[in-house]
Chain A
Amino acid sequence: AQSVTQLDSQVPVFEEAPVELRCNYSSSVSVYLFWYVQYPNQGLQLLLKYLSGSTLVKGINGFEAEFNKSQTSFHLRKPSVHISDTAEYFCAVIEKSGNTPLVFGKGTRLSVIA
């Protein structure tokens, strides 16, 4: 079975600074990887996903993530954050076969400070 570890539960960062949210996964089979964002009292919104092809994936709101198979990582980055990026971010993994459901990490709370 696969698992996801988000290495930081909280990340404070100043506005316009760069940010990286770390995600490592464990799986014995090939996987698809996702990042979701959750604003307060709302559902989750898909930021980006890696299915195949280029290991650098661009998503909405200026975010991007890089799939590193050797390090089993899928870190999320943004070169310059805004106050509006304050939210909870979830990394998730699913087997390509689809035999098991999506598995989420515990989330990273990004707080952007003015």
Chain B
Amino acid sequence: DGGITQSPKYLFRKEGQNVTLSCEQNLNHDAMYWYRQDPGQGLRLIYYSQIVNDFQKGDIAEGYSVSREKKESFPLTVTSAQKNPTAFYLCASSIGPGNTIYFGEGSWLTVV
């Protein structure tokens, strides 16, 4: 089946540790995105990539890093510099800029 797979679904980490969230798609989409969701704030864009080996900062990139070494993969690292990392993280992809975006099932990150 084609789709976007995020893992893990639930992740707990201690404060000060870096953590990497995985996102893989087999839709042959060029563009990939990471959003953060907090209650009452909707979705905020962290990073996006329109093509392999290229990515741009979104509205809330501070404390996060990404890589796009393969078309199908766009992992997100939440670093210790991110002040409030506990949130629901959503990965998405589209054929290209301006096209419909499709979402994965999301990953819950809790930092204690």
In the complex, what residue of chain B is closest to A94 when comparing beta carbons? B98
Is the Cβ of A96 less than 8 Å from the Cβ of B98? yes
Contacts of A34 in B (CB 8 A): 100-101
Is the Cβ of B90 less than 8 Å from the Cβ of A101? no
Question: Of A11-19, A54-62, A103-111, which stretch is located at the interface?
Answer: A103-111
With contact pairs A42-B105, A43-B106, A105-B42 given, residues A49 and B100 touching in the complex (Cβ less than 8 Å)? yes
Residue A97 lies at the interface, judged by CB distance under 8 Å to chain B: yes
Residue A63 lies at the interface, judged by CB distance under 8 Å to chain B: no
In the complex, what residue of chain B is closest to A4 when comparing beta carbons? B42
Residue B8 lies at the interface, judged by CB distance under 8 Å to chain A: no
Residue A53 lies at the interface, judged by CB distance under 8 Å to chain B: no
Contacts of B58 in A (CB 8 A): 101
Is the Cβ of B106 less than 8 Å from the Cβ of A42? yes
The listed residue (B33, B103, B108) touching A101 by CB distance below 8 A is: B33
With contact pairs A42-B105, A95-B98, A98-B97 given, residues A106 and B48 touching in the complex (Cβ less than 8 Å)? no
Residue B84 lies at the interface, judged by CB distance under 8 Å to chain A: no
Q: Report Cα–Cα, A42/B103, bound state, in Å.
A: 9
Residue B63 lies at the interface, judged by CB distance under 8 Å to chain A: no
Is the Cβ of A107 less than 8 Å from the Cβ of B42? yes
With contact pairs A43-B106, A101-B33 given, residues A106 and B40 touching in the complex (Cβ less than 8 Å)? yes
Residue from B33, B42, B58, B97 whose CB has the most chain A CB atoms within 10 Å: B42
Residue A99 lies at the interface, judged by CB distance under 8 Å to chain B: yes
B: residues with CB less than 8 A from A are 4, 6, 33, 35, 40-43, 45, 48, 58, 90, 92, 96-106, 108
